[in-house]
Amino acid sequence: MSKIEYKSFVVGFPRIGEQRELKRALESFWDGNKSFEDVKKVAHELKKRHWNYQKDTKIEFISSNDFSLYDNMLDTSIMLGAIPKRFRELKDEALYFSMARGDSKRVAMEMTKWFNTNYHFIVPELSIDDEYKLDASKILEEYNEAKDLGLKTKINLIGPLTYLGLSKRVDGGDPYELHSKIITIYENLLREISLLDDEVVVQIDEPIFAKDNNSKLLSLIKPTYDRLANSNKNIKIIVMTYFEHSCEATNILIHTPIWALGLDFLHGDENLNSLGSLANSNKKVIAGVVDGRNIWKINIEKTLTLLEQIAQIVGRDNIFVSSSCSLLHIPFSLKYEQNMDSDIKNWLSYACEKLDEIALISKLFFDSALDTKENLALQKNKIANSSRKTSTLIHDKTVQERVKNFTKYQRNGAFAERIKLQKELLGYKDLATTTIGSFPQTPEIRKARNDFKNTLISSDEYELFMKKYIDNCIAFQEECGLEVLVHGEPERNDMVEYFGEQLRGYGFSQNGWVQSYGSRCVKPPFIYGDISRPKPMTVDWIVYAQSKTNKIMKGMLTGPVTILNWSFVRDDMPRSEVSKQIAVALSDEIDDLQKSNIKIIQVDEAAFKEGYPLRDKKIKIYEEWAIRDFKIAVSSAKEETQIHTHMCYSEFNDIIKTIEAMDADVISIETARSGNRLLKIFKSVGYKQEVGPGIYDIHSPRVPSIEEMIKQIKSLLEVLPKEQLWINPDCGLKTRKWEEVKPSLKNMVAAVHIVRDELVHQ
């Protein structure tokens, strides 16, 4: 390794490209408009550019193998030869993309969220009779690709324990039973890596150490890293952890021959506590002090203080200044944010700007003699941070006072009384039919929204267009015989962005794309200031829709916790406080809706579960404020106003008491793929509120038959009584086509009628 000057370190870098070049290349390849060679060319250019950005910013430790054409966990499965049976006749890119996305003959592998991020990985499918076989080609090639450009990289790998911990066994066993087979492949891989150069640094990511782990996993840490770190003299092993503290693993790893340990000091403040044991171990510490999960400019003084604290324990010479995790989770560069308010932009820092921060901090920390340019950067940083403390864009006394003094933590009336009133007033039948909110988002609607945004059509034209869509939605729902109607959400591009755009304190980026999975990116809005609602956000649309039907029109809002979890959140205030501000704003919206005679209001909490902390110790606190804020949001609802909520998942076993405590009158959930298995928990805890278990899977284009849905409804009736059940699809219909939605909903309503008849004649 060349002489280390600043010991600056980046865990990993985004790969989709500053203009989403990789997305475009992949999608045209999938559409048959580009060859795989073209994709590889784009990939090479991107890697080269990304390496150069890091090199030019004087980052000392730059990664290879942080790039991926789809996902690093999938790459690891390929590296190990962990190929599920159905894909084994395929090769190369056909194999790779078929595992990721499926093909006409094979279903894709499952995808799930990477810890508490919004990045999704491909879940490995393992089985006891798998024979693993090393394929090191991607890793070796990427290393040499960088080397040919004159760069010596560290090699990033996903660690064996994290890999296994996130795998599923298709034959039902424990993935850790495959440990010794897998470790052998990792050993073979390290042997190949050791031939690459005189000395190679390998970063092995083990974020699973940041969770509460069972003794089985903990007992595997020492044997694993004794073996991996001992096998090659010229390899230096870094074990990298992030997103939380990993104190238990630290205390084990100090007794292994690894060279360095990566710790996230921002999201795992307890990591400081376990540093004492590291102090005498002569290991290097990769100090994650620049936030890889958020987009705020660093506070230099605070960061230096933290580094000094670390240095006091482990010694300055043992420290590397690093991002807290891969920069994959934040957007690429601020340079494309041309429309943003300049004050706000000045508070932000995306991946490229974080590189500068890492370099500057490490310069300051190791060698305080700054050159003119660095001094200027330091001054600018101070000014930006101090303006954040006082700016009226951020601080709104009225909001702060109101939220502080907000005491209505609960709506009036207990559920048992409320539901009696509601049933009487609303007069819906048992097994009442409804949908989750959105109807198909056609290319025409998207165009109308874009045209309006770009002022190509007037607001009158836009309104007319949307109203026509709402009219059609209502006409269809009436024709189909649905009982509680929705307006269809044509005006919403996204269930968080739509509200964010209307709330004060919310910012939007032009190019703040973050990879969500494969080629898919999202552009999360960000909360920079105190949140308030200048005017009603949904009332006009819902009132219009209600005026067009005699049936009940359901109002539709996104809940406070979901709005929070799908945004970048300000870091100068606890998340729970921000959430409370959103909740208070939503309570006004609910009040306005009911004053306009809307009788049922749904508050979606699609992301309630994904906000759960990684460490059990913190769960209680999260649940407390998440429940509090849902209840604040609906606290304005009168007893006779029926509050629905919707959640996009199905496993409620761990959180059923929390769900119950939210005190919604009706909850619709995503259980279509599990029959009635997942509903049983509602029965076993004696859940009283009403439940709408999705009876068909909207994630597939398939139209379920009447018979199938009858069967499904009957299986629900085996668990919960008809008085407690609603019948609906398992999520919003916006990603489906009308030709799928129409027959599916007609079949759903027909199935309900048949079941109701049978129940009467029983």
Among the listed residues 470, 585, 731, 741, the single contact to ligand GLN using CB under 6 A: 731
Cβ closer to ligand GLN: 495 or 531? 495
- Phi, psi dihedral angles at 87 (to 5 degrees): -100, 0
Cβ closer to Zn ion: 229 or 648? 648
CA distances from residue 475 to 68, 95, 148, 378, 555 in whole angstroms, order as listed: 47, 46, 64, 61, 17
Least distance (Å) between residue 684 CB and ligand GLN: 25
In the complex, which residues of this chain contact Zn ion (CB under 5 A)?
Answer: 648, 731
**According to the binding rule CB under 6 A, does residue 561 interact with ligand GLN?**
no
Q: What DSSP letter does each residue of 373-439 carry, written as one string? A: HHHHHHHHHHHHHHHHHH-TTT--HHHHHHHHT----S-SS-HHHHHHHHHHHH-PPTTEEB--SB-
Which x/- pattern over 419-438 shows residues binding ligand GLN (rule: CB under 6 A)? Answer: -----------------xxx
**How many angstroms separate the CA atoms of 19 and 45, rounded?**
13
Partner whose footprint covers residue 601, from ligand GLN, Zn ion, none (CB < 5 to 8 Å by kind) = none
**According to the binding rule CB under 6 A, does residue 524 interact with ligand GLN?**
no
Give the three-class secondary structure for 752: helix
Q: What's the full length of the chain, in residues?
A: 762
**Angle 137-148/36-56 helices, nearest 10 degrees?**
50
**According to the binding rule CB under 6 A, does residue 495 interact with ligand GLN?**
yes
**How many angstroms separate the CA atoms of 648 and 646, rounded?**
7
Would you give the distance in Å from CA 584 to the centre of its chain? 24
Least distance (Å) between residue 425 CB and ligand GLN: 23
Which x/- pattern over 460-489 shows residues binding ligand GLN (rule: CB under 6 A)? Answer: -----------------------------x
Residue 60's nearest CA partner among 145, 150, 152 is 152
Contact 98, 87 (CB under 8 A): yes
Catalytic: 699?
yes
Least distance (Å) between residue 166 CB and Zn ion: 23
Residue 633's nearest CA partner among 596, 587, 575 is 587
H or E segment to which residue 121 belongs: strand 120-122
Least distance (Å) between residue 215 CB and ligand GLN: 37
**How many angstroms separate the CA atoms of 477 and 459, rounded?**
27
**According to the binding rule CB under 6 A, does residue 648 interact with ligand GLN?**
yes
Least distance (Å) between residue 613 CB and ligand GLN: 22
Among the listed residues 83, 253, 606, 745, the single contact to ligand GLN using CB under 6 A: 606
Annotated active-site residue in 44, 120, 699, 753: 699
Q: Return the residues of window 733-752 that contact ligand GLN according to CB under 6 A.
A: 734
**How many angstroms separate the CA atoms of 688 and 723, rounded?**
10
Would you give the distance in Å from CA 59 to the centre of its chain? 28
Of 158-166, 177-185, 279-287, 729-737, which segment contacts ligand GLN by CB under 6 A? Answer: 729-737
H or E segment to which residue 443 belongs: helix 443-453
Least distance (Å) between residue 266 CB and ligand GLN: 29
Partner whose footprint covers residue 556, from Zn ion, ligand GLN, none (CB < 5 to 8 Å by kind) = ligand GLN
* Pairing of β 726-727 and β 690-693: unpaired
Q: Which residue has the tokens 């879940």?
A: 123
Least distance (Å) between residue 24 CB and Zn ion: 29
Least distance (Å) between residue 52 CB and ligand GLN: 39
- Counts for the chain of helices (H) and strands (E), in that order: 27, 25
Cβ closer to ligand GLN: 268 or 555? 555
* # binding residues, ligand GLN (CB under 6 A): 13
Partner whose footprint covers residue 354, from Zn ion, ligand GLN, none (CB < 5 to 8 Å by kind) = none
**According to the binding rule CB under 6 A, does residue 604 interact with ligand GLN?**
yes
Cβ closer to Zn ion: 190 or 648? 648
- 10 Å CB burial of residue 538 (0-12, 13-18, 19+) is buried
Instruction: List residues near ligand GLN by CB under 6 A.
Output: 436-438, 489, 495, 556, 604, 606, 646, 648, 731-732, 734
Q: Which residues are catalytically annotated?
A: 699
